[in-house]
Chain A
Amino acid sequence: MFDAIVIGSGMSGGIAAKELCEAGLKVLVLERGNDVDPGKDYTDMVMPWEFPNAMRVPEDEVARDYPVQSQCYAFSEATKHFWVKDSDHPYTTPADKDFTWIRGYHTGGRSIMWGRQSYRLSDLDFEANAKDGFGVDWPIRYADIAPWYDKMEKFVGVAGDRDGLPQLPDGENYLPGFELNDAEKQFKAAVESKWSSRKVIIGRTANLSVAKPWHEELGRSSCNNRSICERGCSFGAMHSSLTNSLPAARRTNNLTLVTDAIVHSIIQDPKTGKATGVRVIDRKTKVGRTYEARLVFLNASAINSAYILLNSASEHNPNGLANGSDQVGRNIMDHMYALSTAGMFPGPKDSYYKGRRPTGIYIPRFRNYAEDGDGYVRGYGYQGGVSRLGSRPRAGMPGIGAELKEQGRHIGPWMAYISGFGEMLPNPENRVTLEKTAKDQWGMPIPHIECKQGPNEAKMAKQILADGRAMLEAAGAFVVNQAKEAGPPGLGIHEMGTVRMGRDPKTSVLNGWNQAHEVPNLFCTDGGAMASSGCVNPSLTYMALTARAADHAVKLMKEGAI
Chain B
Amino acid sequence: MIDEIAMNRRALMGRIGLLIGAAALPPEAFALPKGKAAKKFLAAPQFATLSAVADTVIPADETPGAVGVGVPRLIDGMLVTWASADTRGQIVGVLAAIDKLARDADRKSFAALSPERRKALLVPYDKDAMKPGPKPTEKLTALQAMMAGPPVMNPSWVKLKDLIITLYYTSEVAMTKEEIYEHVPGKWVPSLKITPGMRPFASGGPF
* Contact with A404, one of B58, B86, B158, B172 (Cβ below 8 angstroms): B58
Total residue contacts A-B, CB cutoff 8 A = 206
Given contacts A54-B170, A491-B143, contact A224 B191 (CB under 8 A): no
Cβ-neighbour of A179 out of B87, B172, B188 (below 8 A)? B188
Residues of B within 8 A of A353 (CB): 188-192
CB nearest neighbor in A for B155: A396
A69 to chain B, nearest CB (A): 13
Is A352 close to B, CB under 8 A? yes
User: Is A391 an interface position by the 8 A CB rule?
Assistant: yes
Q: Is the CB of B84 within 8 A of A63?
A: yes
Is A90 on the interface with B (CB-CB < 8 A)? no
Q: Does B184 belong to the interface (CB within 8 Å)?
A: yes
| Cα separation A59 to B87 with both chains bound (whole Å) | 9
Residues from 330 to 388 in A contacting B, C-beta threshold 8 Å: 338, 340, 349-357, 388
- Among residues of A, the one whose C-beta sits closest to the C-beta of B180 is A354
Contact of B169 with A392 in the complex, beta carbons under 8 Å: yes
In the complex, identify which listed stretch (B1-9, B12-20, B104-112, B198-206) lies at the interface while the others stay far away.
Answer: B198-206
Bound-state CA distance A408–B142 (Å) is 28
Closest partner residue, chain B, to A349 (CB atom) = B194
> Are the CB atoms of B57 and A396 closer together than 8 Å?
no
| Interchain CB contact under 8 A, B189 and A355 | yes
Question: When the two chains form their complex, are residues B184 and A410 in contact, meaning their CB atoms are under 8 A apart?
Answer: no
Judge whether A58 and B185 touch: CB under 8 Å. no
Instruction: Report yes or no: B184 in contact with A224, Cβ–Cβ below 8 A.
Output: yes
Given known A-B contacts A47-B183, A396-B149, A487 and B143 have beta carbons under 8 A apart: yes
CB distance from A175 to the nearest CB of B (A): 13
Q: How far is the CA of A397 from the CA of B181 in the complex (A)?
A: 24
B178 CB, nearest partner CB in chain A, Å? 6
Instruction: Tally chain B residues at the interface, Cβ within 8 Å.
Output: 72
A481: CB under 8 A from chain B? yes
Decide if A52 is an interface residue (CB 8 Å cutoff): yes
Cβ-defined partner of B130 (8 Å) among A45, A397, A481: A397
Q: For B187, list chain A residues within 8 Å (CB).
A: 225, 354-355
Known contacts A180-B190, A354-B192, A409-B199; A48 and B142 CB within 8 A of each other: no
- Chain A residues contacting B126 (CB-CB under 8 Å) are 398-400
A505 within 8 A of B: no
A224–B164 CA distance with the chains assembled, in angstroms = 31
> Using Cβ atoms and an 8 Å threshold, which residues of chain A touch B152?
396
A352 touches B192 (CB 8 A): yes
- A392 and B165 contact, CB distance less than 8 A: yes
Shortest C-beta distance, B155 to chain A (Å), equals 9
A405 close to B200 (CB less than 8 A): no
A74 within 8 A of B: yes
* Stretch of A4-12, A226-234, A423-431, A550-558 at the chain-chain interface: A226-234
Interface status of A38 (Cβ within 8 A of chain B) = no
Please name all residues of chain A whose beta carbon is closer than 8 Å to the beta carbon of B159 when the two chains form the complex: 395
| A402 engages B61 (CB within 8 Å) | yes
Query: B170 touching A405 by the CB < 8 A rule?
Result: no
| B82–A58 touching, CB < 8 Å | yes
Complex CA gap A54/B168 in Å reads 10
Point out the residues of chain A lying under 8 angstroms from B207, CB to CB.
227, 356
- Per-residue contact bits, chain A 207-239, to B (CB 8 Å; 1 contact, 0 not): 000000000000000011111101100000000
The contact sample of 14 A-B pairs, CB cut-off 8 A, is A48-B202, A49-B170, A52-B37, A52-B82, A54-B74, A54-B167, A57-B82, A225-B186, A226-B205, A400-B119, A401-B123, A408-B178, A409-B199, A411-B200
Q: Give 9 closest A-B pairs by Cβ, nearest first.
A: A395-B162, A355-B185, A59-B84, A354-B189, A179-B190, A228-B205, A395-B161, A355-B188, A53-B82
Told that A53-B82, A58-B81, A352-B194 touch, could you supply 15 new A-B pairs with CB distance under 8 A?
A48-B202, A58-B83, A59-B82, A178-B190, A226-B205, A228-B205, A349-B194, A356-B203, A356-B207, A357-B188, A395-B159, A396-B158, A398-B127, A399-B126, A402-B61
